[in-house]
Structure 1
Amino acid sequence: MTNGDDEGAAGARNRTVAVDGETFVYRRFGGTGSETVPPLVLLQHFRGNLDSWDPALLDVLAADREVIAVDLRGVGESTGRVRDNVTDMARDTIAFTAALGLRQIDVLGFSLGGHIAQELALLRPRLVRRLVLAGTAPRGGPDFHNWSDDLFDTSCLDNPTAETFISLFFSGSTDSVKSAWAYLARAGARTGDQDSATTLEVRDAQLQALMEWAIPDSSKLERLAAITQPTLVACGDNDTMMRTSNSNLLADRIPGAQLRIYPDSGHGFLNQYPVAFGEHVRKFLGQ
């Protein structure tokens, strides 16, 4: 028997759980978890919500385990005031897993979600079994604090469009842009239990969290040595948001970390290569 939904990622219904006086919305689906195969908790990118996850990726991940995607405080349908720092976001994730009665989890964090995942592994090392850090960067890492004017303006538009999303997340090559439109079609195909779009409040609070995390400080890199969980670091070969070089740095500083870089791809490599990345994650989590 499974606690998840049987119809896969595209049909997984929205669920709610009370967390410290607020209501967190999440989706839970896939194979049955166990002590040796814990649920995989997904943490989303800047301005993303439940509907931002690629169903093609999630269905691969959920082939042999439960997958749990969550909107943290104030994001999408979840209530409360959006956190403006990564540590509080990680503490909310801890409270969320406790509310579900989870004693051990694997974690996949994408972009801002990868910041949260690192902090989660440090704050609750016995909670996190394995860690996947996708398109993200270490606290205090170089070269991603002060975004270029173009990157800032495009990332922070009041009303982002499909075209601006593609320019941020994909490489711009013909193949990459084709993959981008295919991802958007998959993500937009959901008809039931759609999530609410993230607000400007989400943008502003999460931007503050991103900028605080990204203040260059080489001393903060020493924290990575305390991440002892098996870790997979993955990114595109031309990530202009978090910088591919920061994924290399994560892999160098986290003991025993594996690194996988995907060709002709940017920040959204996991939406360009959803099946390949999903299979790589499955293999890593099953080791």
Structure 2
Amino acid sequence: MPQLDVDGAVLTYDDEGPRDAVDVPLVFVHGWTANRHRWDHQLEHFRAGRRVIRLDLRGHGESTGAGVRTIAELAADVLALLDHLGVERFVLVGHSMGGMISQTIALAHPERVERMVLVNSIGRMTYSRGRGLLMAASTLVPYKLFVATNIQRAFAPGHPREEIREYIRSSAATPREVVMTLYGAMRAFDVLERAGEIRTPTLMVHGYHDVQLPVRQMLRLAKAYPDAEVRIIDAGHELPVEKPAELTAALDRFLAVKG
């Protein structure tokens, strides 16, 4: 598996599909405590006819590194990888925190982003006072319980328990420093007032049962975008693994539209 040294981290990534494809590469960015394998279904589907790039963000999956404090710093890692690969223009697909990273890139480098897909992502995390206090208190419990509670809540009711347990184990393997620091980074992330600047054609796909980042927060972001398409799917927050085929079909339709 290829790796790249970037500012104190070793990023593990996949770069598959034809280099001479007519369409620009697809770049998949996973979310908090996850890894690049969230996109297995999409990689398998698209790599036959299109270049597909995905990575483990620093401190996640098979990538090393810590010390990152902001979403912008994660965005810089993604751009460093794309520059290394010689990819100038691309389509960004970001899940949850990966969608925050994608928006950060689109705002800073609009000329490089042909299209963007935000999966279960928002522009600002907003809570009632009571919910905010509950979230703050959750950081005080033992680390593994904190991770387990967040991952359990991410899935819609009825998702197989054995799969959820496996995702909990995988997430809990992420270093505590990385998880807690980026938890704070997500809470501090806010591009809602600048969303109108993003002229990139954008698809927002969201799980109807998402309680981590509720649909209403995504719709608030969609209203601010000048060119956004919205699709709601019967899933929770982990849409890429809860309903992978439906997400892939939505991507296919969005990418097939020329213009």
TM range (shorter): 0.7 to 0.9
CA pair 86-246 structure 1, distance change in 2 beyond 3 A = same
Mapped to 1, the partners of 2:142 and 2:205 lie a distance apart of 27
Q: CA deviation at 1:270?
A: 2.5
Mapped to 2, the partners of 1:161 and 1:204 lie a distance apart of 10
Q: Which SS does the other structure have where 2:156 is aligned?
A: coil
* Residue among 67, 83, 87 paired with 2:68: 83
* Residue among 174, 193, 208 paired with 1:198: 174
Mapped to 2, the partners of 1:223 and 1:155 lie a distance apart of 33
Mapped to 1, the partners of 2:128 and 2:73 lie a distance apart of 21
Q: Which SS does the other structure have where 1:159 is aligned?
A: helix
* Residue among 37, 41, 44 paired with 2:30: 44
Indicate yes or no: 2:235 matched with 1:250.
Answer: no
The aligned runs of 1:129-168 (5 Å cut-off) are 129-139=114-124, 142-143=126-127, 147=132, 149=134, 153=138, 158-159=143-144, 164=149, 167-168=152-153
The aligned runs of 1:1-287 (5 Å cut-off) are 14-20=1-7, 22-29=9-16, 31-34=17-20, 36-51=22-37, 53-139=38-124, 142-143=126-127, 147=132, 149=134, 153=138, 158-159=143-144, 164=149, 167-172=152-157, 174=158, 177-178=159-160, 181=162, 197-213=173-189, 220-263=191-234, 265-287=235-257
Aligned residues: 255
Deviates more, 1:161-170 or 1:74-83: 161-170
CA pair 251-55 structure 1, distance change in 2 beyond 3 A = same
CA contact (8 A) 1:47 1:206 kept: no
Mapped to 2, the partners of 1:195 and 1:58 lie a distance apart of 21
Deviates more, 1:201-210 or 1:153-162: 153-162
- Equivalent position amino acid for 1:40 in 2: L
- Equivalent position amino acid for 1:124 in 2: H
CA contact (8 A) 2:144 2:172 kept: no
CA contact (8 A) 1:77 1:195 kept: no
Q: CA deviation at 1:99?
A: 1.3
Output the TM-score relative to the length of structure 2.
0.84
Whose RCO is larger (CA < 8 A, sep 6+)? 1
List 4+ stretches of structure 1 deviating above 6 A: none
CA contact (8 A) 1:107 1:117 kept: yes
Mapped to 1, the partners of 2:139 and 2:106 lie a distance apart of 31
Q: CA deviation at 1:164?
A: 4.6
Counting aligned pairs with the same residue, the percent is 28
Mapped to 2, the partners of 1:162 and 1:57 lie a distance apart of 26
Aligned Cα root-mean-square deviation (Å): 3.2
CA contact (8 A) 1:133 1:233 kept: yes
CA contact (8 A) 1:17 1:23 kept: yes
CA contact (8 A) 1:109 1:117 kept: yes
CA contact (8 A) 1:233 1:250 kept: no
Q: Which SS does the other structure have where 1:143 is aligned?
A: coil
Q: Which SS does the other structure have where 1:126 is aligned?
A: helix
Structure 1 residue runs without a partner (length 5+): 1-13, 189-193, 215-219
Q: Which SS does the other structure have where 2:143 is aligned?
A: coil
Q: Which SS does the other structure have where 2:110 is aligned?
A: coil
- Equivalent position amino acid for 2:40 in 1: P
Mapped to 1, the partners of 2:163 and 2:50 lie a distance apart of 26
CA pair 195-78 structure 1, distance change in 2 beyond 3 A = farther
CA contact (8 A) 2:9 2:66 kept: no
